[in-house]
Chains A and B, each alone.
Chain A
């Protein structure tokens, strides 16, 4: 009871302090919260940015394509590396080394290759989502108890049956966790790509508002993008909880 009240108090104090500082220092630069609400209203009424909806849909579409590709490639690579010992031990470390590179170093090359439009954002979102999914498959496969595999084989289960009935349920939880991280990173990848250089999509709108010093519109656009991000993660956590219940 006391804790939520304290949390609310901190939030309110923070907003008030921000409002005060912003008004006295530089309202244009520090955007007091009171300026954000009307900007948000104008944005939702499609007054400040009439092409909000198509931009949002474009970003969403880029995310979906990037994520679908990341799932396909991540599961494929993960199982290829996890199920074959030699391949796993040879390419696993290479993959881990590449994962240690901050992904954004690939972005200029992707932009050069795929151009300024959606393709480079999809490629970058794919790249970011691919690694956690692959690594989750690898971790999941290591979690499957060898005893269960031996028992299943002893009772005459065929490889496909072992895969579906033994391996997948045993690794499901880790796998779904990786899929959730992968989604979050695909979303970030697409948005980073759009902000680093694009002609359309939410990132382009954000850059436009920022470039023209329309700071309250910028904050409103960021809030809309945040809703998209938080919404996608909430959806993923719902799926994760479902999977958790199913494994228990």
Chain B
């Protein structure tokens, strides 16, 4: 098992290495236009040049994402529990939820920008909308699928409605909420970046958009790598948290 693990990691490292070397060779040999596909070495060099503006932009983006994320988790869980646990609400509202969830949010983006203007507010609103619906839908499903026996037994032992929610329902949907949180963060970041690209004055999306418009390919690739690394790190961190928490839950 350990030997296989080593072999797999070796294969991963070697293939990424081969890819980078091949890319470098192709770019240096001039088989592709360096204006559009810069060599990895040029991209590495660009990191230094963009570091300050990109890190500031990334910080700005992540801050907006964090606000949007907190809002979408709070609203998503609250509405999900409310709609999911009250049967009448669920039956009446679920087609609307599904319809809005399925609708590509990009279509309302110009409208949001018209109403809220450029800058931070539309990014937070759009990021929240992006994160809210997947969490809402997951939590609604999670609440619906809570074991009826648990609820019946709690009722039979005289649990109040408050206790039913706090002691039975919420602990039962923890895994669903965690799954929603893991899914939601990528959506929030996506939403914020889209707004920044569409109508940003700051933030990573705006930085990347300007780099693309200025044909600064090495800097653009470096910025792209930076955002990708940040989002992979966030998702991995949430995964670790998820593992810890599910361990604690037993």
Contacts and interface: CB of A to CB of B under 8 A. Distances in A.
B157 interface: no
Nearest to B182: A100
Contacts of B197: 104, 107-108, 196
A169 to B, nearest CB: 28
B82 interface: no
B221 interface: yes
Interface in A212-248: 213, 215, 218-219, 222, 225-226, 229, 233
A225 to B, nearest CB: 6
A225 B107 contact: yes
A90 B96 CA distance: 42
A101 B227 contact: yes
Interface stretch (B138-146, B169-177, B228-236, B240-248): B228-236
B111 A108 contact: no
Name A's interface SS.
helix
A113 interface: yes
A222 B12 CA distance: 44
A156 interface: no
A103 interface: yes
User: How many of chain A's residues touch chain B, expressed as a range?
Assistant: 35 or more
A108 B96 contact: no
A109 B220 contact: yes
B232 A101 contact: yes
Contact of A105 (B16, B36, B111, B228): B228
Contacts of B215: 112
A94 B232 contact: no
Interface-centre pick from A3, A93, A107, A215 (highest chain B CB count, 10 A): A107
Interface stretch (A32-40, A44-52, A136-144, A186-194): A186-194
B212 A112 contact: yes
A206 B104 contact: no
A113 B106 contact: no
A77 B140 CA distance: 34
B212 A105 contact: no
A79 B111 CA distance: 42
A146 interface: no
Interface string A144-170: 000000000000000000000000000
Contact of B208 (A98, A103, A108): A108
Contact of B194 (A112, A184, A192, A213): A192
B104 A187 contact: yes
Contacts of B211: 108
Interface in A106-121: 106-109, 111-113
A101 B230 CA distance: 9
A213 B114 CA distance: 8
A113 B33 CA distance: 10
Interface of chain B, main secondary structure: helix
B186 interface: yes
B162 to A, nearest CB: 27
Interface string B74-95: 0000000000000000011101
Contact of B102 (A86, A98, A101, A233): A233
Contacts of B110: 195, 206-207, 210, 218
A29 interface: yes
Contacts of A222: 107-108
B190 interface: yes
A219 B205 CA distance: 26
A233 B103 CA distance: 11
Contact of B95 (A7, A30, A91, A206): A7
Given A108-B211, A113-B37, A102 B107 contact: no
A112 to B, nearest CB: 5
A107 B190 CA distance: 12
A218 B193 contact: no
A86 B106 contact: no
Contacts of B186: 100-102
13 contacts: A6-B92, A10-B93, A30-B115, A86-B11, A100-B235, A101-B231, A102-B187, A104-B197, A105-B193, A105-B224, A105-B228, A188-B106, A191-B107
Ranked 10 nearest A-B pairs via Cβ: A102-B190, A108-B212, A210-B110, A100-B235, A90-B11, A101-B228, A108-B208, A112-B212, A222-B107, A105-B227
Given A90-B11, A104-B193, A105-B228, 12 more contacts: A90-B15, A102-B189, A102-B193, A112-B36, A112-B215, A191-B106, A191-B107, A192-B106, A195-B106, A196-B198, A210-B113, A222-B107
